[in-house]
Structure 1
Amino acid sequence: MRPAEEVLEYIDKSFYDLTVPIATLDILHDKCRWAEGPVWFGDTNLLVWSDIPNNRMLAWVPELGVTPFRTPANYVNGNTRDRQGRLISCSHGARAVLRTEWDGTVTTLVDSYAGKRLNSPNDVVVKSDGTIWFTDPTYGIISDYEGYKTEAEQAGSYVYRFDPADGSLMVVADDFVQPNGLAFSPDESVLYVAESGRSHNPDVPQHIRQFSVDGARLRNGSVFVDVDSGLPDGFRLDVDGNLWTSAGPCVNVYNTAGALLGRIKTGQATSNLTFGGARRNRLFITSSHYLMAIYVGTTGAQRP
């Protein structure tokens, strides 16, 4: 547990309205190898997240603590829920997007494009129309640490849109080096996508881009923000459209114009986050070996 004065950095006064100045940053679990992909289940009051190198998924329940959720987990990374509340996961091991059905069975939704295997799906979001949008960098196939080392079959690392209604899969962005986290604005008119290619190439910019959503297409791509404190990875938006993103040893918070409002200093390489808790006013953060949480003054935009 770390007090707010150690972890909250106020750059713009509006950040006070988005935080709880007396809140603490709580460590809920500290035995992961690389924590990722947190997703909140409000109907069952639990958080699920991935511990990729240990090939497992864990669950945290208030007052009860941490229990195994799925082991082995086929090197699952990012997670979300669809509009029916089912768990949607990106699997490095299966090189696929998976859905956990209500009876616990796992369905492979998509694992190839144009007759070739996907790289290693990384992060995922579900639009209100039920379509599934995900990123497909190569992190799960460049070594045996977070998946299985092998050669890529796709010509690049793309952002995809999958429609489970008809099984169609299309590339919606093809000019990223390593696309990573992604999220829609509250009204779904904008899709934000992180570029994390600097992890293996210092010449790649560390920024988040924004696109206008035109039905099944993305248009007018531009840089939303250059992240100054480290690699952007996973992120979420609050109900007012502010973007909360992992940023090296911090969570950076930007308003809709891309202005930095403040930071939550985790002190660890931060990977991802999600809003949850009984009132959806608790920010759960995966950061290196840790699952952390802090109460904030707002709530998340995305709902299952």
Structure 2
Amino acid sequence: MITLPAHLDVQDDRFAALVHPMSRLEPIARGFTWTEGPVWFGDRNCLLFSDIPSQRIMRWSETEGLSVYREGSQFNNGNTRDPQGRLVGCRHGPRDVVRTEHDGSLTVLADRFDGKRLNSPNDVVVSSDGAVWFTDPTYGIISNFEGYRSTPEQETRNVFRLSPDGELTVVVSDFSQPNGLCFSPDEKTLYIAESGSSHDDSVPAIIRKFAVDGATLRDAGVFAKIDRGLPDGMRCDSTGNLWSSAADGVHCFDPQGTRLGKILVPEVVSNLCFGGADGHRMFITATTSVYCVFVDVRGAEAWVRGRG
């Protein structure tokens, strides 16, 4: 009989094929204030992640260790890559979505809607057609901890789509606090986390799913409920399972929303991504630390599957 390590909570036999029982949960970086936004750069063999309150984006690689990628990041939160391999991030300070060009310069992609400032863009994904989808809750303007306290100008807390030609539209407007988001591998479904229970106990801690029809979304109902804490950042693997952050670790759901198991982490998890030289590592940002664990599946993103 195989004894499972303490960090694995297997709730379905299929989970055993995703996280090997000999895998270890290892801290690779510690001493931060609130880590977020992990994104793997396979072409540079490194991980970037945000330490929001310290206004830094950090860089980690297995060969070179930890270093500062960007000082004065303006409370940068979520990160992703676009089809051209450029870093796209959400900044609470200027309340915008910004792209880092190949020469290191920054291009602001969106900071206003209908002439009013955005709330505080939080997390972002880029679809294969180059459209940028991002959430806009108010976490970055509630206090001065991870942004600048301010009164919202937007009437609702929206999910936006920025088309490749620069048109910004609201695709969902009925969230209390939209947070993490990710596409299914075929990009026919967009999953979005509802994290409003952070400040309102009456808001359910759920992940909603939406059918993608070009530039619009159709509400397809509740995908899954988080039973410890609330959902924040999340990613899909190449087989369609969704891995979500939670208070006790990372929860894994099959494409129908059945929870298969958990990777238990000793700190509250904010986000995660797939990466590593072989694509079989999961990097987990969790409060003051970043963890790594071997998984037997790769991420759905192209750069994890070896094309970026």
The match for 1:49 is 49
Q: Over residues 123-160 of structure 1, what are the superposed CA-to-partner deviations in whole Å (9 max), with x where a residue is unaligned?
A: 00000000000000000001000001111000010000
SS across alignment from 2:232 = strand
Q: Trace 1:54-73 onto structure 2 (pairs within 5 A).
A: 54-73=54-73
Indicate yes or no: 2:246 matched with 1:241.
no
Tell me, yes or no, if structure 1 residue 184 matches structure 2 residue 183: yes
Indicate whether 1:130 and 2:149 are aligned. Answer: no
SS of 1:253's equivalent in the other structure is: strand
Shift of 1:24: 0.6
1:29-44 counterparts in 2 under 5 A?
29-44=29-44
Moved beyond 2 Å, runs of 4+: none
Tell me by how many angstroms 1:31 deviates: 1.0
Question: What is the letter of the counterpart of residue 138 of structure 2?
Answer: T
Query: C-alpha displacement at 1:221, in angstroms?
Result: 3.1
Query: TM-score under structure 1 normalisation?
Result: 0.98
Q: How does 1:95-114 map to 2 (within 5 A)?
A: 95-114=95-114
Contact 1:4 1:23 in 2 (8 A): no
TM-superposed CA distance for 1:302, in Å, is 1.1
Length, aligned pairs only? 301
CA displacement at 1:63 relative to structure 2: 2.3
Q: CA deviation at 1:98?
A: 0.2
Task: Give 1:94 deviation, angstroms.
Answer: 1.2
Counterpart amino acid of residue 190 in structure 1: T
State the distance in 2 between where 1:246 and 1:4 align. 21
How far apart, CA to CA, are the structure 2 residues paired with 1:277 and 1:99? 23
Q: Give, in whole Å, the separation in 1 of the partners of 2:240 and 2:94.
A: 33
Letter in 2 for 1:140: G
Q: Is the 8 A contact 1:143 1:149 kept in 2?
A: yes
Q: Distance in 2 between matches of 1:60 and 1:264?
A: 22
How far apart in 2 are the matches of 1:23 and 1:183? 25
The CA distance in 2 between the partners of 1:35 and 1:241, in whole Å, is 26
- The corresponding residue for 1:155 is 155
What is the CA distance between 1:279 and its match in structure 2? Answer: 1.2
Q: Note closer, same or farther for the CA distance 1:267–1:128 as it changes in structure 2 (3 Å cut).
A: same
Q: Percent identity?
A: 50
Indicate conservation of the 8 Å contact 1:4/1:25, yes or no.
no
Amino acid at match of 1:189: K
Which residue of 2 is the match for residue 251 of structure 1?
250
| Partner Cα distance (2:166, 2:287) in 1 | 35
Asked if the contact 1:194–1:232 (Cα under 8 Å) also holds between the matched residues in 2, the reply is yes
Residue 94 of structure 1: aligned partner: 94
> What is the correspondence of 1:1-304 to structure 2 with a 5 Å cutoff?
5-163=5-163, 165-304=164-303
- The SS at the match of 2:142 is coil
How far does the alpha carbon of each residue in 1:253-279 deviate from its partner, in whole angstroms, 9 at most, with x for none? 000111110000002110000000011
TM-superposition CA deviations, 1:233-271 (whole Å, max 9, x none): 000000110000001121000001111100000021100
Give the letter aligned to residue 291 of structure 2: M
Q: 1:152 to 1:262 in 2, by over 3 A?
A: same
Query: Which stretches in structure 1 are left out of the alignment for 5+ residues?
Result: none
The offset of 1:220, in angstroms, is: 3.0
**RMSD (Å) for aligned C-alpha atoms:** 1.0
Letter in 2 for 1:101: E
Q: Secondary structure, in 3 states, of the residue corresponding to 1:258?
A: coil
Q: What is the TM-score with the length of structure 2 in the denominator?
A: 0.96
Counterpart contact for 1:194–1:209, Cα < 8 Å: yes
Q: 1:187–1:119: structure 2 CA closer, same or farther, 3 Å change rule?
A: same
What letter matches 2:78 in structure 1? G
Deviation per residue, 1:166-219 (Å, 9 max, x gap)? 210000000000000000000000000000000011110000000000110001
Deviation at 1:4, TM superposition (A): 6.0
Q: Aligned partners of 1:126 and 1:100: how far apart in 2?
A: 14
TM-aligned CA deviation for residue 12 of structure 1: 0.4
